[in-house]
Amino acid sequence: MAILAQKQWRLGLVVLAVWLFFFLALDSLVHDSPTMDEQNHLARGAAFVKTGDPRLSLEHPPLINSLSGLPLLLLPDLVYPFDHPSWTEMQPPDIYWYNFADQFVWRVNHDVTRMIFLGRLPMVFLTLGLALVGFHFARLLWGRPSAYLAFVMLLFEPNVVGNGRLITTDLGGTLFMTLALLLVWRMWTAPGWHWRRWLAAGVGLGLAFGSKLSMLAFVPILILMCFLPIFEEGTQSFTEEARRGTERGRRFLQLVSAGAFSVVVVWAIFGFEWGVFRFPSAALAGLNRFSGPMPTFWAGLDQIVNVSRGGRMAFLLGQSSDQGFWLFFPVAFLVKTPLVLLLGLMGLVWWGWQRPSIRPKLLFLLVPAILYFGVSVISDINIGYRHLLPMVPLIIVAVSGLPMAVDGRDWWHGGDTGRSRIIALILAGGILLPTLASHPHYLNYFNLAAGGPANGASILADSSNDWGQDLLRLQAWMAENDVEIIKLGWFGIADPAYYGMAYAPLPGFPRAEFLSLWDNPPFDPQAPEPGVYAISASSLWESHRVEKNVYAWFRQREPAVRLGSIYVYVIE
């Protein structure tokens, strides 16, 4: 009876957690305006679902986008601009999907709210899927009690929740890469050559690579993992060392062959596309006279390499650079990762390293996370914490083993259960409480050591803080306070005019009516005229400009109200 009661208690906890997650996710996403990249992902996904043609999926494979595009089939009157040059001619070649998305979302259709809502719903279920993968990963490594802990922590980690409600590939890529690592672990720990586990690993890798191109960074990481002494104990004899060398060779062969099979899976995700290659770089342009499988995938790889070399404007600690910052991701990781995870990780390394049974599992989780972090640091693309998202499940699954590292294998029934249960409650509460406190502004989350969300705008911009998600909240605030017109320094792709907002444009990004005003702002930067000014955080800190002299007067003053990422100033 006691065992049955305990199972029912755990099931009740899971059901409660899932219901709370869905409430938080849905209650926040319906009030988020379309963020910067969502229209692009939604348009390419809807177009691929409608036609099976992945031509818009140049930098992002179609798997995750297609899941967002599927619910749009429920809208029978939806118009697809397949007669527009952005589709028929793919011109200009570097931004044609932006033009198609603008037509699809804002020009030829007039139901943006419903389109965005339907496109976001699958992402919420993918986030639940990520928590389930973390549950199975932790159960396999640490046991069932840790699995429940990992499930709750993954479901409510604020950065996961924040990105898990948006139409992007970040959460989907994280989900399938975590699944792939779980399946690779199962393949490598099986005795001999287990064909079903090999096949599952190949499918998992294919799903990861077909979700987000940056997941290919795990290829060299996994190759290195083949040869690390994670799965063997200390050497005792020459014969034993030879056997271990054979096992390393087996793991390498399994990985390479599973990786080769994953290419077929990726090709299937691209709808078995076959056509003329269209490499954008001059170095590979000579191959464009040939035809082959999934030309969009190979062109996307080439495009990503070109973009990575060129870099993008990045913002960190009040400064901007088009060459990126070496400290961008270290700072982003420290200020946006919940403190309980940072402290739990240090505790796990301290206690876990002392237990030989835990050490290999710890290495399998943390070595890929550390190496992926290193790859991110040397990249010139510094535009958001979301690019670190694949590390988060690995860290959470690892930290869910902290009670076991402290008290032994069965930390719920054996050992010093009082201490281990307290640790588990601290870990779960340290994740849940900041998420509840951040609701519904999850993209604005910064931990207490960073000064919280109120201090975030001076540290990071763009998708780490202000991605254009609060326009609808500004609209609601204007209605509640009888504000008829505002001066708007908007950072976002959403069109304020679509929502019937009366505004005078100020310098912003990237819509043309705002972008064109930076060199000639329609107000005196030294002494702004009276009025109600609503300025997005990224515009306020001029994150896309090296010189920051337009909004300096506002940055030195407290706003009348802060609506997530939008700062409202009332000047009389």
For 293, left (φ over 0), alpha (ψ -120 to 50), or beta?
beta
Residues of the chain above pLDDT 90, percent: 75
Phi, psi of 568 (to 5 degrees): -110, 125
Contacts of 81 (CB under 8 A, 6+ apart): 87, 100, 103, 104, 107, 108
Q: How far apart are CA 242 and CA 248, in angstroms?
A: 10
Copy the structure tokens of residue 31.
């009030």
Question: What is the CB neighbour count within 10 angstroms for residue 303?
Answer: 20
Report pTM.
Answer: 0.93
Residue 536 is inside which H or E element, if any?
Answer: strand 531-536
Domain boundaries, the chain: 462-571
Q: How far apart are CA 471 and CA 566, in angstroms?
A: 8
Q: How far apart are CA 62 and CA 210, in angstroms?
A: 7
Residue 415 is inside which H or E element, if any?
Answer: none
Residue 440, preceding peptide bond in cis (omega within 30° of 0): yes
Copy the structure tokens of residue 401.
């083993």
Q: How far apart are CA 189 and CA 231, in angstroms?
A: 8
Low-confidence ranges of the chain (pLDDT < 70): 1-7, 91-94, 232-244, 308-311, 408-417
Q: Give the pLDDT of residue 355.
A: 78
68 with 123: CB under 8 angstroms?
yes
Q: Using CA atoms in the order 34, 67, 311, 97, what is the torsion angle rounded to 10 degrees?
A: -70
Q: Using CA atoms in the order 498, 503, 505, 507, what is the torsion angle rounded to 10 degrees?
A: -100
Q: Give the pLDDT of residue 54.
A: 93
Q: Give the pLDDT of residue 404.
A: 78
- Dihedral sign, CA of 389, 392, 394, 397? negative
